[in-house]
């Protein structure tokens, strides 16, 4: 029986995993200890890589606006893809992001 959240109707693990792709909300699963679940940990690691990429895009945009803008758009697309795959309950590697995320553990 799935652990439904009364407010959203979503399984709580799907909700925690999807939060990983919404900027600094990636910290919620980490702080709450939800990363003990392998599904949530998978998406949280990818979300952290995307967050770092977004921060680097902002910093790069200060010096070279076109490079920073391109990197930010790529991170935004990766975030949207990750959000939808997590809401569907899938574990898909986002190209580039997934390989970097596999280098560390939570």
- Is it the case that residue 51 has pLDDT exceeding 70? yes
Residues in a beta bridge with 11? 4
Alpha carbon of residue 58 to chain centroid: 17
pTM: 0.86
Residue 7: pLDDT band with limits 50, 70, 90: low
Residues in a beta bridge with 4? 11
Mean pLDDT of 70-83: 94
């Amino acid at each position: 029986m799935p652990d439904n959240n009364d407010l959203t109707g979503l399984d709580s693990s799907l909700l925690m995993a999807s939060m990983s792709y919404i900027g600094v909300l990636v910290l919620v699963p980490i702080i709450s200890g939800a990363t003990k679940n392998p599904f949530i940990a998978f998406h949280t690691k990818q979300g952290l890589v995307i967050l770092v990429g977004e921060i680097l895009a902002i910093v790069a945009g200060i010096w070279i606006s076109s490079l920073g803008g391109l990197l930010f758009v790529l991170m935004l697309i990766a975030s949207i893809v990750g959000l939808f795959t997590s809401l569907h309950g899938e574990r898909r590697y986002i190209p580039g992001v997934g390989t970097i995320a596999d280098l560390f553990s939570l």
